[in-house]
Structure 1
Amino acid sequence: MIQSLDRLKIGDKFFNSRLMLGSGKYRTMEDAVNSIIKSECEIVTVAVRRLPTNLTNDNTSFLKFLDWNKLWLLPNTAGSQTAEEAIRMAYLGHELACQIGQENNFFVKLEVISDPKYLLPDPIGTLKAAEFLVKKGFTVLPYINADPMLALHLEDLGCATVMPLGSPIGSGQGLKNLSNIQIIIENSNIPVIVDAGIGTPSEATMAMELGADAVLLNTAVAQSNNPEQMASAMKLGVQAGRLAYLAGRMKKKSYANPSSPLNQISQLL
Structure 2
Amino acid sequence: MVATVAPVTDTLVIGGKVFHSRLFTGTGRYRTLEQMQASITASGCEMVTVAVRRVQTQAVGHVGLVEALDWGKLWLLPNTAGCQTAEEAIRVARLGREMAKVLGQEDNSFIKLEVIPDGKYLLPDPVGTLHAAEQLVKEGFTVLPYINADPVLAQRLEAAGCATVMPLGSPIGSGQGLRNASNIEIIIAQAQVPVVVDAGIGTPSEAAQAMEMGAQAVLVNTAIAQAQDPARMAQAMGLAVKAGRLAYLAGRMPVQSQATPSSPPEN
- TM-score, normalising length: structure 1: 0.93
Q: Does 1:101 align with 2:96?
A: no
CA deviations over 1:140-193 (Å, ceiling 9, x no partner): 000000000000000000000000000000000000001000000000000000
Contact residue 124 and residue 146 of structure 2 kept, 8 A = yes
Amino acid at match of 2:30: Y
Contact residue 33 and residue 62 of structure 1 kept, 8 A = no
RMSD: 1.5
Q: Does 1:211 align with 2:219?
A: no
Q: Does 1:49 align with 2:72?
A: no
Please state whether the residue corresponding to 1:88 is helix, strand or coil: helix
Specify the alignment match of 1:62 in structure 2: 65
Unpaired runs of 5+ in structure 2? 1-5
Specify the alignment match of 2:3 in structure 1: none
Partners of 1:202 and 1:115 lie apart in 2 by 29
Partners of 2:65 and 2:144 lie apart in 1 by 23
Amino acid at match of 1:260: S
Amino acid at match of 1:8: L
Partners of 1:195 and 1:77 lie apart in 2 by 14
Amino acid at match of 2:205: S
Percent sequence identity over aligned pairs: 66
Partners of 1:244 and 1:232 lie apart in 2 by 18
Q: State the 1:67 CA deviation.
A: 1.9
Contact residue 22 and residue 217 of structure 1 kept, 8 A = yes
Unpaired runs of 5+ in structure 1? none
Q: Does 1:168 align with 2:147?
A: no
Please state whether the residue corresponding to 2:189 is helix, strand or coil: helix
Partners of 1:83 and 1:51 lie apart in 2 by 20
Amino acid at match of 1:173: Q
Contact residue 205 and residue 240 of structure 2 kept, 8 A = yes
Amino acid at match of 1:117: K
Partners of 1:173 and 1:253 lie apart in 2 by 29
Amino acid at match of 2:123: L
Specify the alignment match of 2:247 in structure 1: 244
Specify the alignment match of 1:9 in structure 2: 13
Please state whether the residue corresponding to 2:56 is helix, strand or coil: coil
Q: State the 1:63 CA deviation.
A: 2.2
Partners of 2:264 and 2:53 lie apart in 1 by 62
Amino acid at match of 1:235: G
Amino acid at match of 2:27: S
Contact residue 39 and residue 232 of structure 1 kept, 8 A = yes
Q: 2:36 aligns with which of 32, 36, 41?
A: 32
Amino acid at match of 1:145: N
- TM-score, normalising length: structure 2: 0.94
Q: State the 1:60 CA deviation.
A: 5.1
Q: State the 1:53 CA deviation.
A: 7.7
Amino acid at match of 2:18: F
Contact residue 21 and residue 45 of structure 1 kept, 8 A = yes
Specify the alignment match of 2:22 in structure 1: 18
Amino acid at match of 1:52: Q
